[in-house]
Amino acid sequence: MTTRRRVKAGQPKLVTVIDSTVNLRAAMDMKPSPDLFELRLDCLWPMTKNLEKKISRLRAPIIVTARAPHEGGANNLSSKQRIDLLLRFLPYAYYVDVELSVINKFDSVLASARKQSVHRILSYHNFKSTPSPRSLHAKALLAKASGAAVLKIATRTDTPAALTRLIDFLTNNDVDLPVSVMGIGKLGTISRLLLARCGSVLNYGALGQPKVEGQLSMELLRSALGR
């Protein structure tokens, strides 16, 4: 049986994204460790041979996710391929991350997560815009009703108005649900710094060169949060 490391409550968490075998090797030797590692199974497919043995060497709890192309996923995996990957790696996870819009298709994953005491992150990605405050609030209500432990919001922030909407959503959220909020695009970098300081509960950094527009390196994110 896999022993899961616990995530401590309190300050915003640092999450290191593992999206290649090179980054996995670096993560296994990483000191100090982040609060969590996110295992991007869609990026690591089909290089998952012996992956279970390797991730057991990581020194922090694990988020597992397998994203579709419209969520920024790699390798054009089908829903069945992603479901199979998530079910395979659930025993090693503290969190499983599933897109809010497809939770009905992934009910087997979410049900297995509940049985295995794996917490659920329900995500909303929008690479074109940042929705209205009313729309963001509706997504928070849906995530809460769907049993999320965390709602993750990642939207395009090319304008100050879009960034302001994300900050207002985070700071004025009246749904009893922890939220992780980040921007993508021209103001993505500054958005992630500001939102981390405003209380975003999970803050994602890249090992090596960031691959998402606006994503921070782990070094910069750690420095910005005084960690």
**Smallest Cα–Cα separation from 92: which of 37, 47, 148?**
37
Sorted by where each starts, the structural domains of the chain and their CATH numbers stand as 13-224 (3.20.20.70)
Strand arrangement, sheet containing 179-184: 179-184, 150-156, 119-126, 95-99, 62-65, 36-40, 13-18, 202-206, 216-217
Statement: residue 3 has pLDDT above 60? no
pLDDT over 90, % of the chain? 70
Reduce the DSSP state of residue 163 to 3 states and report it.
helix
Supply the mean pLDDT for the chain.
90
- pLDDT tens digit string along 93-130? 999 999 999 999 999 999 999 999 999 999 999 999 99
Higher pLDDT pick, 88 / 224: 88
Question: How far is 116 from 203, CA to CA, in rounded Å?
Answer: 25
- pLDDT tens digit string along 23-80? 999 999 888 889 999 999 999 988 877 898 889 889 999 999 999 888 888 898 999 9
Statement: residue 2 has pLDDT above 70? no
Question: How far is 221 from 227, CA to CA, in rounded Å?
Answer: 8
For the purposes of burial, counting CB atoms within 10 Å of the CB of 212, is it exposed (0-12), middle (13-18) or buried (19 or more)? Answer: middle
Residue 32: the pLDDT is 86
Residue 208: the pLDDT is 76
How much is the average pLDDT of 175-189?
A: 94
